[in-house]
Amino acid sequence: MRIQAILSLLSSTHYVQNYFNDTLNVLDHLGSISPYHRARHHHASEIVSELPIDCTVDQVMLMHRHGSRGPIGEQRYIERLVQTLHDATDVIQNVELPHELEFLRTGYNFSLAPHNLTILGRKELFDHGVEFALKYPHLTTDIILSSDSSRVVESARWFALGFFGLDPDVRIVTVNNKDDPVSWITPAPGPACPKFNYSFGQKATRTWSKHYLPVITDRLNMLLPGVGFTEDDIHGALFACAYDLASLDASPWCGVFRPDELVNFEYERDILMDASCAYMLPDNMGPLVGTVFVNKLIERFTDSQGDSRPLYLEFGHDVTILLALSALGLAKDDPPLSPDELRLGRKFRTSELTPFAANMVWEKFTCTSSYDGPQIRLILNDATMPLTICGQGMDPTLGTCSLDTFVNANHYSTSIRFRDETWNATCGV
């Protein structure tokens, strides 16, 4: 297995390296643990970003992921790496180090607190609050909804500081999956869907890791004979690259890896999330759970309950956004991604969809002459995401569609109700 993995990855290296037209941008290849950056495209470079001058945004619904944070489960890999380097101090001091590993001579330490927002994470949310206020000066609210996770609540506070300024007249209301078991805010449906389990993503990740980590491990052990890197150590170094960036905006580890190695790490992060909360979940579970968000969006934009607000500011997790996208059939690959095969041209790229501080902005707008009736647009991480679910009803220039077309196109979501027969059969309630 090890020899086959090495040969397979080496044979594709030239192809992968040709995938890059310019110098590698690391932020584009760290998946959902990348610090925030504007999405460069969603396979829609021809989309015009500005609405016609006669159009006005009347209603906005924001779902914002928390900002850059410290590691959670990845912490143990980084700690293992630091211990391996510490144990090999004498070896490192007496071996000729290649340029990209010279930093090891003075030692490498990692002290980022797990779970917590970093300084960069706070700045991401403050900046987004300011930008949001400048973009929608005519819209306001007196309530913010947040997951009860501390890093999400703090993210909401920093955004509010940027949007409202000091001492804002706004309440932050928190929810969890016990108060609201099918919330569009909480990171997982919990008791509402017992079969929903992140283990599906973890299993896919372990499978792909066996394909690419041995190659990197062997390469670095050749550069540093006597250190004895394990595959877990290499995983730790890749995570250190991402979390150093999330904390310090720089990392010596990022320069250690080749473009093809970062591409393979990125794919690992993508299939982790695809198999945890999107299209690779069994029995269409991801789209099913995501219908909660879509139905809430439709309820608000159509004002079906008669109590819609002009502005919704809500803060959650990457899972929240990915579940919604899967219910909408957006960023969907056909055939589905596989943990045994690298798919370079895939649509499901979490570095674009859900980096730290990802923001999914839904706009309802009306125009005096350009369009008849209310229209809907999705802006994901500062780039328009075409509403392909609308089919021929999508405007090819703006990537938008009429609200009526959008509602009709989402017949799957509107046909699902919490704990109806379909829900119970899929979720095992």
Helix axes 259-277, 199-223, angle to 10 degrees: 170
pLDDT digits (tens, 9 = 90+) for 103-127: 999 999 888 778 899 999 999 999 9
**Cis amide prior to 335 (ω within 30 degrees):** yes
Is a pLDDT exceeding 80 seen at residue 135?
yes
Token pair, residue 66, equals: 């928390």
For residue 23, is pLDDT > 60? no
- CA 112 – CA 423 distance, rounded (Å): 40
Calculate Rg over the CA atoms of the chain: 23
Q: Which of 29, 66, 128, 211 is catalytic?
A: 66
Region 357-379: mean pLDDT is: 98
The pLDDT value given to residue 244: 95
Q: Which is more confident, 429 or 286?
A: 286
pLDDT at 55: 98
% of residues, the chain, pLDDT over 70: 90
Active site residue: 233, 244, 260, 318, which one? 318
Q: Is 47 left (phi over 0), alpha (psi -120 to 50) or beta?
A: beta
Strand spans (E) along 309-358: 311-316
Residue 384 has pLDDT above 90, yes or no: yes
45, pLDDT greater than 80: no
d(CA 80, CA 95): 21
Angle 2-18/259-277 helices, nearest 10 degrees? Answer: 100
The question of whether 318 is a catalytic residue gets the answer: yes
Digit-coded pLDDT (tens) for 225-235: 999 999 999 99
Beta strands in 311-374 (DSSP E): 311-316, 359-367
Residue 164: predicted pLDDT: 96
Name which residue leads in pLDDT, 299 or 180. Answer: 299
pLDDT tens for each residue of 179-214: 555 555 666 677 788 888 889 999 999 999 999 999
Model confidence pLDDT, tens digit, residues 72-89: 989 999 999 999 999 999
The mean-pLDDT minimum among 134-148, 177-191, 219-233 falls in: 177-191
Q: For residue 171, what are the β-bridge partners?
A: 143
Residue pair 272/204 in contact by the 8 Å Cβ criterion: yes
More confident residue, 236 or 12: 236
* Residue pLDDT, tens place only, 244-275: 999 999 999 999 999 999 999 999 999 999 99
Per-residue confidence (pLDDT) for residue 218, from 0 to 100? 98
Rounded mean pLDDT of the chain?
90
**pTM exceeding the 0.75 threshold for the entire prediction:** yes
Phi-psi region of 124 (alpha: psi -120 to 50; beta: other; left: phi over 0): alpha
pLDDT for position 111: 80
Q: Which residue has the higher pLDDT, 4 or 403?
A: 403
Which pLDDT does position 181 carry in this prediction? 52
Residues 6+ apart with CB under 8 A from 201: 271, 272, 273, 274, 275, 276, 277, 280
What are the structure tokens assigned to 139, written together?
């819209």
Ramachandran angles phi, psi of 313, nearest 5°: -115, 110
Is the pLDDT at 42 greater than 60? The verdict is no
Active site residue 404: no
Q: Return the pLDDT at 325.
A: 96
From first CA to last CA, the distance across the chain in angstroms is: 40
